[in-house]
Each structure stands twice: as C-alpha cells, then as structure tokens.
Amino acid sequence: MYEGIVQDLIDELGKLPGIGPKSAQRIAFHLLDADDAAVRRLAEVLVNVKDTVRFCEVCGNVSAEEKCRICSDPRRTDEVLCVVEESKDIVAIERIREFRGRYHVLGGAIDPIGGVGPNDLRIAQLMSRLGSGETQEVILALDPNIEGEATAAYLSRLLAPLEVTVTRLASGLPVGGDLDYADEMTLGRAFLGRRAV
C-alpha cells in the first residue's frame, strides 16, 4: 500500500478493463514521472469525453449529436438492422465496407455470472424499433464467446414471432474473443456468409 492519493490512483487505474494491480502500479508511477502538461492533457480529455460524448438516442452508438452519423445518413437503408454489443463493433463492421444498413447497440451481452441480464441491455429499444415494421432482416453480430452465444439465443427466441428474417454471422471468427479481434477479411467473410437462424 502506498500513501493516500498515490494508492487512490493505483486503485482507480486497477478498475479499468485489462489492468491488473501490477499494471496499475506501473501506470501510476509512469504518470508521476511524466511531465505536468502531458498528465494535464490526459485529465482534460477524460473530463471532456464524459462531458461531451453522448449516446445516439436511436441506436445507442457513441455520438456527438442526438442522432449518430449512421442513423442520420439518408443513403443507408432501414431494411437491415445489425445488432452489436458495443460501439467498437460498429467500427469493426464499418471497416469491411459491406454493410449499408443501420445498427443497434445492446450495451453488452447477457452474462449471468457477471450479473448482466436481458433487462440491463437495450433490448426493449430494439423491440420498439422493430415495431415500426421497416426492418426486414436483423443481423445478430455478437461476439463469438459464451456471452455472445447466450445473447444470440435469447434474441433469436424473442424475434422468432416477428415478420423479420434473423441471421447470424457465419462461423470462422476466432472463438472466445471479441468481434473486433477478427481481421477485416475474416469478418467480411463471416458477414457475407451470414445465415438465417
């Protein structure tokens, strides 16, 4: 344990994803050694991002405006809706340049061990979007891991009674990881090879 505020810094850093106690300590001492201006810039970016970035009121993507750039783009079609876990998955799918529909961000995946249930995700918003009747296909582009599988199974059951085709990405994505771990070609192939569930 370090004294006061240094330990506070290590504790806060240790709460970040992928940062263990050793890394938290290393980053804390890096910041203590770094020059004032650099640390101040980091602090400002952290505060600004929380103050200014919001989530698109339609799809849940991170956005600078009420509606994100994808939701406000008139050249995209409402007929295909791609359901993803996080905003970063949108970035991965946009990179393959195959998709011209809209997205819906769930904000995570069903994870009973981690205490995340269907009500913690933006599933009600998804159902109300589908209620407008414009969507013909829903693509479940969820992570190829246990939580993604559980979420896809749950959504497939929920969407089954609707007049909409539900598809999933073809297999071939690296199992156990995040969607955005896959390289563009693999993800592109999984996207184009999607099949109905």
Residues engaged in binding Zn ion (CB under 5 A)? 56, 58-59, 61, 68, 71
Of the pair 56, 182, the CB lying nearest Zn ion is at 56
Secondary element (H or E) of residue 156? helix 146-159
Who's near 181: CB < 8 A, 6+ residues apart? 174
Q: Are strands 80-84 and 102-105 parallel, antiparallel or unpaired?
A: parallel
Q: Is 26 helix (H, G, I), strand (E, B) or coil?
A: helix
Measure the CA–CA gap between 194 and 56, rounded to whole angstroms: 27
Of the pair 102, 173, the CB lying nearest Zn ion is at 102
Measure the CA–CA gap between 119 and 106, rounded to whole angstroms: 10
Of the pair 56, 142, the CB lying nearest Zn ion is at 56
Q: Tokens for 49, please give them.
A: 């991002």
Q: Smallest distance from the beta carbon of 54 to Zn ion, in angstroms? A: 11
Q: Smallest distance from the beta carbon of 185 to Zn ion, in angstroms? A: 27
Of the pair 59, 126, the CB lying nearest Zn ion is at 59
Q: Smallest distance from the beta carbon of 56 to Zn ion, in angstroms? A: 3
Of the pair 65, 98, the CB lying nearest Zn ion is at 65
Q: Smallest distance from the beta carbon of 60 to Zn ion, in angstroms? A: 7
CB 140 within 8 A of CB 166: yes
Beta strand ranges found along the chain (DSSP E): 54-55, 62-63, 80-84, 102-105, 137-140, 165-168, 195-196
Q: Smallest distance from the beta carbon of 78 to Zn ion, in angstroms? A: 12
Q: Smallest distance from the beta carbon of 2 to Zn ion, in angstroms? A: 43
Of the pair 26, 76, the CB lying nearest Zn ion is at 76
Q: Is 183 helix (H, G, I), strand (E, B) or coil?
A: coil
